[in-house]
Amino acid sequence: MSFNRLAPEDFVVSSDSITATLWSDGAVALSSFYSSSTQEAGSSGNFYLNVYQTASNDPSAEIQFAIAYGNKKGSGSAFYNTAVVGVSPTKTTYSQYQNLILGDENTDFIFGNITSSEFWALSIDRTRYKESLFPGSLILRLSGSNGQLTLTDNSQVTPSITFNDAGRVFQLVSGSQGTVFTGVNSNGYSVSSGSYGWVLPDIGTILLNPLALSASISLASSQSYNSDGLNNRAILNALNRPSIPYFQLNSQETISSNYIFIRARNTEFNYSENPSFISGSTGEVVFNSFINNPQTFPTTVGLYNDNNELLAVAKLSRPLLKDFTKEALVRVKLDF
């Protein structure tokens, strides 16, 4: 067996970004949105509403995303204890996302230029994507009593990317697939009500700003005191109500590849330790023609560490003819 030590220039690392559809069965977009009455009526229904691509009792039904409503004052849901004012599922949801996204319980959500004490959260199910959401792929249609609205992120037009504890932050604006619609202002949202929310691709979450949605399509949250405002269902209805319901979003994954170049020069790997080459008793070359004009047919490349331990094996698609007149270059690709 022959060995060659690899040099630093034999290694090259490359990264490629791969995008794919997000939803079940490779669907480009969701056009129907279903919930589970059992989940909604259960204890978890006070906090979030799971959304499926088909009826929840269908064997092919899978959770696509969840809808949650958070309110800083705890409005929009019943209090855990009437003696403790303001402590409710919406307060818990608000605090949970506050810690996850802002990393500080004293910091408020600022959509565009407006500070908000409430939001709707669309959390994409973790099994739907591998690494993150793909900025610029979003098309989200919502409908209220005052018309229809199509939303996207501003990743294609923002001069700089904002970061917080949840990673990248993009404003949710009026537009489609990263293209901002004109008619409001160049930012795609209103100065008086702020942006329509945030897109947080690194945690698979979209936050919706109720103030902006109310001003645009009259889709307002119910901030009822100590009672269930059914705010999660309000967004589900807003998704199903447009003339053409549509929710498109892609996932993104960065795959790093380590390329290793294995070189067999003309003077190397022309002899073999195979018994067909060498006599087992004398150690001499069996055929005289193999002395000056040997031929080998490599089929496998093994990668070893300094302790002579085999770490990886690369199989060639076919045997490679090797002699003193030929050189070979084999490229091994390791993905991680």
- Rounded percentage of the chain residues whose pLDDT exceeds 70: 96
State how far the Cα of 183 lies from the Cα of 186, in Å rounded to an integer: 8
Decide: 214 and 235 in contact? Cβ < 8 Å: no
| Whole-number average pLDDT of the chain | 91
Residue where one domain finishes, among candidates 231, 248, 265: 248
Dihedral in degrees, nearest 10, Cα atoms 116, 68, 124, 236: -110
Which long-range CB contacts under 8 A does 34-41 form with residues at least 24 apart? Answer: 34/61, 35/233, 35/236, 40/233
Q: Do 242 and 259 fall into the same domain?
A: no
Residue 181 DSSP class: P
Q: What is the pLDDT of residue 190?
A: 80
* 130: its two tokens: 């591998």
State how far the Cα of 48 lies from the Cα of 226, in Å rounded to an integer: 17
1 belongs to a structural domain: no
Prediction pTM value: 0.81
Contacts of 204 (CB under 8 A, 6+ apart): 123, 124, 126, 128, 129, 132, 133
Residue where one domain finishes, among candidates 248, 279, 299: 248
Average pLDDT over residues 96-120: 94
Q: Do 258 and 311 fall into the same domain?
A: yes
70 belongs to a structural domain: yes
Range scoring the smallest mean pLDDT among 38-47, 68-77, 149-158, 265-274 = 265-274
Average pLDDT over residues 277-300: 78
Q: What is the pLDDT of residue 246?
A: 96
DSSP H or E run through 55: none
State how far the Cα of 336 lies from the Cα of 332, in Å rounded to an integer: 13
Q: Do 151 and 232 fall into the same domain?
A: yes
Decide: 229 and 77 in contact? Cβ < 8 Å: yes
Q: What is the pLDDT of residue 186?
A: 56
Tens of pLDDT, residue by residue over 185-215, are 556 788 788 999 999 999 999 999 999 999 9
Tens of pLDDT, residue by residue over 44-55, are 999 999 999 999
Q: What is the pLDDT of residue 185?
A: 56
Q: Kindly indicate the confidence band of residue 286, based on its pLDDT and cuts at 50, 70 and 90.
A: confident
Q: Do 133 and 281 fall into the same domain?
A: no
Decide: 196 and 206 in contact? Cβ < 8 Å: no
State how far the Cα of 196 lies from the Cα of 202, in Å rounded to an integer: 19
State how far the Cα of 229 lies from the Cα of 305, in Å rounded to an integer: 63
Are β-strands 250-264 and 300-304 bridged in parallel, bridged antiparallel, or unpaired?
A: unpaired
Residue 184 has pLDDT above 60, yes or no: no
Phi, psi of 145 (to 5 degrees): -70, -10
3 belongs to a structural domain: no
Q: What is the pLDDT of residue 304?
A: 92
- Residue 109: give the domain boundaries: 23-248
Contacts of 28 (CB under 8 A, 6+ apart): 21, 248
Residue where one domain finishes, among candidates 200, 217, 248: 248
Q: Do 296 and 195 fall into the same domain?
A: no
Tens of pLDDT, residue by residue over 243-284, are 899 999 999 998 888 999 999 999 998 887 777 777 766 767
Strand partners, 167: 164
Range scoring the smallest mean pLDDT among 110-119, 289-298, 312-321 = 289-298
Q: Do 217 and 262 fall into the same domain?
A: no
Q: Do 244 and 258 fall into the same domain?
A: no
What's the number of domains the chain is made of? Answer: 2
Residue 334 has pLDDT above 70, yes or no: yes
Residue 97 has pLDDT above 70, yes or no: yes
Decide: 51 and 34 in contact? Cβ < 8 Å: yes
